[in-house]
């Protein structure tokens, strides 16, 4: 399969590096500003440099504010039977498809851990996408983590609020947790190592366990013990539950505004 990437920023470049190592597809990049492109992909600086080439998949990996100006020139680059794939956050399916001549389109919402092959990526396809095209996109996305097909574009926006923005919430929690450990007297390095190992271990247990996360929480919480005291402070009267509901709702509302 011949794949064209329009743009090769941090996310697109990181995903491409993993694809180059794990597929036999041919990748071409058009990006006037790219530096140190992944080895194995051909880098061009302008759409005109493509000559008369057409591609099985055209991937939109530019900033959302650029799509209206950049994409119309690429309508002719999608080969018969080909499709468009967009990782441009906040750009609706209708917007991307229209700019590319009503091409079959898959909208993709990756998250930052895709950089290390542990992404949680949402996908939503237009009705014109074939089963083959959906499979081709799934195969690529599964190389950078796990793919989650959703039934509507609204569901993709809700997924964005949970997993797309989610690493930011987790990193903020990590930071606050590390600062709390330092308040108890640990130095920076030890506090960081303790917190990250604790979170990594807990996440691994939850991923591998048959029990629910509530069961796991209860298994480490002795009546009137230290964990119970800490949890009471953390989620007193449902404060943490409410905070996270407000957090994801705010992100979802913003996703709707960006369309």
181 close to 202: Cβ distance less than 8 angstroms:
no
pTM over cut 0.85: yes
Provide the pLDDT for residue 89: 83
Do 152 and 231 lie in one domain? The reply is no
Residue closest to 85 by CA, chosen among 25, 43, 45, 21: 25
- pLDDT reading at 259 higher than 80: no
Q: What angle do CA 130, 119, 5 make, to 5 degrees?
A: 55
Q: What is the pLDDT of residue 190?
A: 98
CATH of the domain at 247: 1.10.3730.10
pLDDT tens figures, 185-220? 999 999 999 999 999 999 999 999 999 999 999 999
Cα(259)–Cα(94) distance, integer angstroms = 10
What integer is the mean pLDDT of 92-117? 94
- Say if residue 147 is in the same domain as residue 204: no
Question: What pLDDT is attached to residue 36?
Answer: 81
- Residue 248 banded pLDDT, cuts 50, 70, 90: very high
Quote the mean pLDDT of the chain: 96
Q: What is the pLDDT of residue 50?
A: 98
What is the per-residue pLDDT for 37? 84
What pLDDT score does 197 carry? 98
**How many angstroms separate the first and last alpha carbons of the chain?**
31
> By percentage, how much of the chain surpasses pLDDT 70?
100
Same domain for 182 and 80?
no
For residues 146-167, give the mean pLDDT: 96
Same domain, 42 and 78: yes
Q: Is the CA virtual torsion 118, 149, 87, 111 positive or negative?
A: negative
Tell me which of 160, 194, 221 is where a domain ends: 160
State whether 146 and 196 are in the same domain. no
Calculate mean pLDDT across residues 27-42.
92
Q: Quote the number of domains for the chain.
A: 2
90 CB neighbour count, 10 Å cutoff: 19
Per-residue model confidence (pLDDT) at position 6: 98
**Per-residue DSSP letters for 54-108?**
-EEEEEE-S-GGGHHHHGGGGGGGEEEEEEEEE--TT--HHHHHHHTTS--EEEE
Q: Which domain holds residue 221?
A: 166-258
Q: What is the pLDDT of residues 58-78, one digit of tens each?
A: 999 999 899 999 999 999 999
pLDDT of residue 99: 96
Taking the C-alpha atoms of residue 90 and residue 109, their distance in angstroms, rounded to an integer, is 9
Task: Average the pLDDT over each of 1-5, 14-18, 23-27, 141-145 and give the range with the smallest value.
Answer: 14-18
- Judge if 41 and 85 occupy the same domain: yes
3-class DSSP state for residue 143?
A: coil
Mean pLDDT score, 246-258: 93
User: SS in 3 state form for 1-59?
Assistant: CEEEEECCCHHHHHHHHHHHHHCCCEEEEECCCCCCCCCCCEEECCHHHHCCCCEEEEE
76 and 107 in one domain?
Answer: yes
Same domain, 147 and 214: no
């Amino acid at each position: 399969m011949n794949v064209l990437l329009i743009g090769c920023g941090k996310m697109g470049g990181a995903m491409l590096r993993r694809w180059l190592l794990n597929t036999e597809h041919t990748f071409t990049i058009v990006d006037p500003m790219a530096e140190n492109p992944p080895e194995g992909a051909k880098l061009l600086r302008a759409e005109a440099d493509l000559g008369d080439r057409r591609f099985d998949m055209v991937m939109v990996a530019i900033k959302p504010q650029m799509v209206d100006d950049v994409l119309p020139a690429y309508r002719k680059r999608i080969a018969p039977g080909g499709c468009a794939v967009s990782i441009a956050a906040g750009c609706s399916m209708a917007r991307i498809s229209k700019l590319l001549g009503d091409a079959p389109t898959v909208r993709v919402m990756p998250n930052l851990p895709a950089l290390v092959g542990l992404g949680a990526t949402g996908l939503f396809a237009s009705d014109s996408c074939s089963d083959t095209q959906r499979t081709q996109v799934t195969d690529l996305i599964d190389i950078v983590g796990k793919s989650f097909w959703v039934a509507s574009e609204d569901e993709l926006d809700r997924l964005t609020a949970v997993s797309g923005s989610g690493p930011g919430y987790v990193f903020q929690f990590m930071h606050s947790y590390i600062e709390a450990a330092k308040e108890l007297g640990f130095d920076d390095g030890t506090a960081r190592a303790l917190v990250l190992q604790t979170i990594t271990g807990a996440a691994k247990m939850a991923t591998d366990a048959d029990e629910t996360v509530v069961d796991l929480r209860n298994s480490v919480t002795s009546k009137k013990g230290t964990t119970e005291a800490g949890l009471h402070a953390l989620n007193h009267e449902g404060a943490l539950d409410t905070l996270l509901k407000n957090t994801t709702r705010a992100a979802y509302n913003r996703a709707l505004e960006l369309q």
